[in-house]
A = this chain, B = another copy of it.
Amino acid sequence: MPELLTVTDVSAGACCTPLVREPLSAEEAEQLAVTMKALADPARLRLLSIVAASENTEACVCDLIEPVGLSQPTVSHHLKILTAAGFLTRSKRGTWAYYALVPGALDRVSKLLVAS
């Protein structure tokens, strides 16, 4: 049935712009939006930035409280969100927790925005 196939193609492909690769599915977009929400906060961006600027891209939680000017529970809350979103990993050594950057955690978004 070539006519039917042609009709289907036109309705799916719309009027003008051909796609050169597969866009995000609805499910992928939902997941990625959750990840982006973790970044859409000034305190979390500063915390992530301090970790990224630290030697070996790792920082003790004790070094993160003063620069952002928030209480330790608030800082811990933000760090938990960043860890759950896959931007940081947490390890405990002695008294303190250390947070390390996960390299390439933003790759999914970068790839989305870079022309292939």
Q: Which residues of A contact B (CB under 8 A)?
A: 12, 14-24, 26, 29-30, 32-33, 36-37, 39-43, 45-46, 48-50, 52-55, 57-60, 62-63, 66-67, 87, 96, 101, 103, 105-106, 109-110, 112-116
Please measure, in the bound complex, the distance between the C-alpha atom of A111 and the C-alpha atom of B109, giving whole angstroms. Answer: 13
Asked if B63 contacts A16 (CB within 8 A), the reply is: yes
Asked if A17 contacts B59 (CB within 8 A), the reply is: yes
Chain B residues, CB < 8 A from A63? 14-17
Inter-chain pairs besides A32-B45, A53-B116, 5 sampled, C-beta below 8 Å: A14-B66, A20-B55, A29-B42, A52-B115, A106-B110
Q: Which residue of B lies closest to A46 (CB)?
A: B29
Asked if A58 contacts B113 (CB within 8 A), the reply is: no
Please measure, in the bound complex, the distance between the C-alpha atom of A57 and the C-alpha atom of B21, giving whole angstroms. Answer: 10
Chain B residues, CB < 8 A from A52? 23, 112-115
